[in-house]
Amino acid sequence: MRRLPLVGLVAALTLTCCGAASAAAHDEPRTSYAKGRSQPVKDPVYPAYGNPSIDVLHYGLKLAWRPERRSLAGTATLTVRAVKPIKEVRLDFGRALKIDRVTVGGERARPRRKGDDLTIPLPATLAADKKVRLVVRYHGVPKPHSSGQLRPDLARLGLRSAADGSAWALQEPFGAFTWFPVNDHPSDEALYDVAITVPKGWAGVAHGTYKGKSVRGRAVTYRWKSTDPVASYLTLFTVDKYRMHRAKGPRGIPITYWVRPGDRWALPTVRRMPELIRWMEKKAGRYPFPSAGLVATSDSGMETQQMITLGGPYLTPEVVLHELAHHWFGNSVGPRTWKDVWLNEGFAMYFQIQWSADHGPGTMDSLMADLRRQERLVRAEAGPPGDYRRDYFAASNVYYSPALMLHEIRKRIGDDRFFAMTRAWAQEHRHTSQDRASFTAWINEHTGEDLTELIDAWLDSRTSPES
Ligand SMILES: [Zn+2]
């Protein structure tokens, strides 16, 4: 996520829902989706979201947006693995959306709903490690989730729309459930195929790699594919009058930019992405995904996977660099639970500061000294980064404190060993979920130093540790 300032009918046309379900009737799904396999856990900070008894391997989402009604119609096909024997599948799903039909292995099911929970009974107990395919058809006018979070841009999470018919969904730490049925937790990453159907003149943008569009009558369908695991908070849905621009990154990686005609002022910044990816590759090794992109929304933004979302005042090279850095630190090497969001923001903040120092006017020393002064205040206000106030998710404490901690580690081991460490951490743990225990054990082993005390002090102390 970006840092806080340092200072009805379209659906009928296009949603052919039932082929996949009937083909799979009674059988275990044939596709293995092995890369979508996870080890879900219960969240210690936000236990109301996510379900550790299931592991969704793949989401197939066919979504149709009607700008004039600001309504969504969807067919979600989920390939679910049982982590332990289960009799039902409980998912997060927004109460504002109405369910038209649910099938399990092709057979009609009668789901139960309570609040933002959707529970689908299975016809028989599903043994551990067995898979089942669920299809949920739904429609409605989505409503964002009122989170009660103190950070202003997180007070409402999930799918929002504007009077002009545009829509965008951003959701950290949770809120993808406002637009599709989901196991809404970072420990359950999955593969995705997304199709967004919109009227001509509009474009539908999602996470993953752009796979092209098809036109049928007055409707256009945009297709997106994720072949590496994606956490639900990193998914993206946005519809606006975007125009696509193409570029190429290192090794010819395809890049697409999605910018509204009125936002062409942003293009010179947006077009720096290949250069920013190359800068990050020197610090963290090869970019971990097969494509990249950026969609310029009207809202703030975050590191949505392979398609960064950034709007208005946040469209600056240093914030683009921050969101790109998350592709190594957060998206590829993900946090197992929200307790360890500092693992995302600490590294992204650190590389943002290093990039700023490399490009002036500040130096690393002056920028870290500024950070140090502010860190004392945000730690007092929002708690230590390893045990932050749960109503103050992603306050500056989870950015500044771990960035300072990384700088202390750098001073201890020197520049060369430090950047060898950041590269090795990202490359050795590609597409896995990690936490504080695994990070501490790994960095001690990798550096041959015992950094446990330093890490614990920076993450747990109520007051800032002395350097
Ligand atoms: Zn961030």
pLDDT digit string, tens, across residues 153-207: 999 999 999 999 999 999 999 999 999 999 999 999 999 999 999 999 999 999 9
Same domain, 52 and 135: yes
Residue 65 pLDDT > 60: yes
Ligand 1 geometric centre to CA of 10 (Å): 36
Please state the rounded mean pLDDT for residues 353-374: 95
Residue 12 pLDDT > 50: no
Alpha-carbon separation of residue 209 from 197, 222, 265, 461 (angstroms): 16, 11, 25, 42
* Residue whose structure tokens are 């509204």: 260
Same domain, 81 and 164: yes
Ligand 1 geometric centre to CA of 345 (Å): 5
pLDDT digit string (tens) for 324-337? 999 999 999 999 99
Ligand 1 geometric centre to CA of 307 (Å): 14
Same domain, 312 and 406: no
Confidence grade of residue 229 (pLDDT, cut at 50, 70, 90)? very high
What pLDDT sits at residue 30?
72
- The CATH number of residue 342's host domain is 1.10.390.10
Ligand 1 geometric centre to CA of 160 (Å): 21
Please indicate, yes or no, if residue 207 is contained in any of the structural domains. yes
Ligand 1 geometric centre to CA of 446 (Å): 25
Ligand 1 geometric centre to CA of 348 (Å): 6
CB atoms within 10 A of CB 440: 17
Ligand 1 geometric centre to CA of 20 (Å): 37
Kindly report the average pLDDT of the chain as a whole number: 93
Question: 223 near 230, Cβ under 8 Å?
Answer: no
Please state the rounded mean pLDDT for residues 234-244: 98
Ligand 1 geometric centre to CA of 194 (Å): 25
Confidence grade of residue 13 (pLDDT, cut at 50, 70, 90)? very low
What pLDDT sits at residue 347?
98
Ligand 1 geometric centre to CA of 27 (Å): 42
> For the CA atoms of the chain, what is the radius of gyration?
22
Please indicate, yes or no, if residue 251 is contained in any of the structural domains. no
Same domain, 97 and 117: yes
Which has more confidence, 294 or 32?
294
Confidence grade of residue 15 (pLDDT, cut at 50, 70, 90)? very low
Please state the rounded mean pLDDT for residues 227-250: 98
pLDDT digit string (tens) for 379-403? 999 999 999 999 999 999 999 999 9
Residue 237 pLDDT > 50: yes
What pLDDT sits at residue 123?
97
Ligand 1 geometric centre to CA of 247 (Å): 24
Type of residue numbered 459? L
Name every residue whose Cβ is closer than 8 Å to that of residue 261 and which is 6 or more positions away in sequence.
241, 243
Ligand 1 geometric centre to CA of 427 (Å): 19
Ligand 1 geometric centre to CA of 223 (Å): 27
Confidence grade of residue 2 (pLDDT, cut at 50, 70, 90)? low
Same domain, 18 and 146: yes
Strand partners, 38: none
Please state the rounded mean pLDDT for residues 397-412: 98
Question: 47 near 390, Cβ under 8 Å?
Answer: no
- The Cα 408–Cα 458 span in angstroms is 10
What pLDDT sits at residue 32?
84
Burial 102-138 (b: 16+ CB within 10 A, else e): bbbbbeebebeeeebbbebebeeebeeeebbbbbbbb
What pLDDT sits at residue 28?
64
- The H or E element containing residue 91 is strand 86-92
Ligand 1 geometric centre to CA of 4 (Å): 9
Ligand 1 geometric centre to CA of 214 (Å): 34
Final residue of a domain: which of 328, 351, 368?
Answer: 328
Same domain, 30 and 156: yes
What pLDDT sits at residue 4?
52
Same domain, 34 and 133: yes
Please indicate, yes or no, if residue 124 is contained in any of the structural domains. yes
User: DSSP 3-state helix, strand, coil percentages of the chain (rounded to 5)?
Assistant: 35, 30, 35
Please state the rounded mean pLDDT for residues 367-377: 96
Same domain, 348 and 446: yes
Residue 5 pLDDT > 90: no
Please state the rounded mean pLDDT for residues 440-447: 98
Burial 204-227 (b: 16+ CB within 10 A, else e): bbbbbbbeebeeeeebbbbbbbbb
Ligand 1 geometric centre to CA of 349 (Å): 7
Final residue of a domain: which of 328, 360, 385?
Answer: 328
Question: Reduced to 3 states, what is the DSSP secondary structure of residue 255?
Answer: strand
Ligand 1 geometric centre to CA of 361 (Å): 22
Same domain, 321 and 294: yes
Ligand 1 geometric centre to CA of 403 (Å): 12
> Which structural domain, as residue segments, surrounds residue 68?
9-241
In the chain, how many domains are there? 3
Same domain, 319 and 341: no
Please indicate, yes or no, if residue 158 is contained in any of the structural domains. yes
What pLDDT sits at residue 312?
86
Please indicate, yes or no, if residue 419 is contained in any of the structural domains. yes
Please indicate, yes or no, if residue 389 is contained in any of the structural domains. yes
Question: 441 near 343, Cβ under 8 Å?
Answer: no
**Portion of the chain with pLDDT greater than 90, in percent:** 91
Question: 278 near 324, Cβ under 8 Å?
Answer: no
Please indicate, yes or no, if residue 146 is contained in any of the structural domains. yes
Final residue of a domain: which of 328, 356, 384?
Answer: 328
Average the pLDDT over each of 104-108, 297-301, 307-311, 443-447 and give the range with the smallest value.
297-301
Question: 122 near 82, Cβ under 8 Å?
Answer: no
Ligand 1 geometric centre to CA of 410 (Å): 21
Residue 11 pLDDT > 60: no
Please state the rounded mean pLDDT for residues 357-385: 95
Same domain, 223 and 273: no
Question: 291 near 255, Cβ under 8 Å?
Answer: yes
Ligand 1 geometric centre to CA of 139 (Å): 32
What pLDDT sits at residue 9?
29
